[in-house]
Chain A
Amino acid sequence: MNTWPFINGAYGASVLFLAVAGWLSLARYRRARRRLAEVEKR
């Protein structure tokens, strides 16, 4: 049985999850800090 499609699937899901979850968390953090700085400047 060719196991590579399963290996590629597991690694693909991992890389996709880490990239998307990491990017979303950091994007939310940067957006929240920028918004707070704007409000405090008023």
Chain B
Amino acid sequence: MNEDVLPANRPVRAGGWLHYLANPARFMRVAVPVLPWLSGAALLLCVAGIVWGYQFAPADWQQGNASRIMYVHVPAAWVAMAGYAALAVCSLFSLVWRHPLADIAAEEMGPVGAGFTALCLISGSLWGKPMWGAYWVWDARLTSVLVLFFLYLGHIALIRAFDNRAHGYRAAAILALAGAVNLPIIVYSVQWWNTLHQGNTISITGGSKIYVTMLYPLLISTLGFYLAFIAMVVARICAAICERKTASALLAAAEELA
């Protein structure tokens, strides 16, 4: 291969640009000034979406006021699935490039994602009781989301199950990647099986079956939930990096004294 054709500053190693971007120090330099703005935007959009959905959005012609639960249930479900997809991507980066920031990100996404999944299940069961007459049915959509919740819990537990943290990260990354197969099952469960849960109302490719007076608060609430998830995860990643730096500094100081 003629190496003269490569630009001088081009990373030679495959995936070198990923290592450049995923450096913990560079991440902190970007994340610390962005975090207050991210948190403020998340708070503003969550409040706007929740108040709009609870108080001002129109009631559904068939479900009545119970349809207002949609403005917290649907965003929580979308964030739960997107969070797991991000967890799987971090796990792939961890397994392929062994990057410590990917491990930290995956570790910090787990509890937040599990919280949003629990919120989706709780709000869904509170919606199910007045509409279906039961808090829970072993429907394909509900069961696959429950499996997602257990995958999150398994990931959280597996990271902490080994004395050597590196072994925990590796095992949890494999679980996260294997569990990603559940995401298309959740999305298509309402098409593949005859479920009690309603079909997809909003589609990126096709037309939405929801009127704008209900769509706007739903989109604002969704954006708020997404930003809240990102803000929480970024804050937790920054905290984890600081905690590791503190531990390293204290260890170095103790070794100097000894």
The residue of chain B having its C-beta at the shortest distance from the C-beta of A38 within the complex is B246
A29 and B246 alpha carbons, distance in the complex (Å) = 13
The answer on a CB contact under 8 Å between A28 and B245 is no
The answer on a CB contact under 8 Å between A39 and B249 is yes
Total chain B interface residues with beta-carbon distance under 8 A? 42
Per-residue CB proximity of A4-42 to B under 8 Å, as 1/0? 101101110111011001100110110111011001101
**B195 touches A (CB below 8 Å):** no
The answer on a CB contact under 8 Å between B66 and A14 is no
Per-residue CB proximity of B23-39 to A under 8 Å, as 1/0? 00000000000010001
Interface extent on A, as a size class? 20 to 34
The answer on a CB contact under 8 Å between B246 and A6 is no
Q: Which of A10, A28, A29, A32 contacts B72 (CB 8 A)?
A: A10
- Which segment, of B124-132, B148-156, B165-173, B207-215, faces chain A? B124-132
**B235 touches A (CB below 8 Å):** yes
Per-residue CB proximity of B103-121 to A under 8 Å, as 1/0? 0000000001001101100
The answer on a CB contact under 8 Å between B242 and A35 is yes
A18 and B42 alpha carbons, distance in the complex (Å) = 10
A10 and B127 in contact (CB under 8 A), knowing A26-B39, A36-B245? Answer: yes
A39 and B27 alpha carbons, distance in the complex (Å) = 21
**B250 touches A (CB below 8 Å):** yes
The answer on a CB contact under 8 Å between A25 and B235 is yes
The answer on a CB contact under 8 Å between A3 and B64 is yes
**B54 touches A (CB below 8 Å):** yes
Within 8 Å CB of B238, what residues of A? 29, 32-33
Within 8 Å CB of B122, what residues of A? 10, 13
The residue of chain A having its C-beta at the shortest distance from the C-beta of B39 within the complex is A26
Task: Tell me, rounded to whole Å, the shortest Cβ–Cβ distance linking A39 to chain B.
Answer: 5
The answer on a CB contact under 8 Å between B239 and A32 is yes
What are 20 A-B contacts defined by CB distance under 8 Å? A3-B66, A6-B69, A6-B130, A9-B126, A10-B69, A10-B72, A13-B122, A21-B115, A25-B112, A25-B236, A25-B239, A26-B39, A26-B235, A28-B235, A29-B242, A32-B240, A33-B239, A35-B242, A36-B243, A36-B245
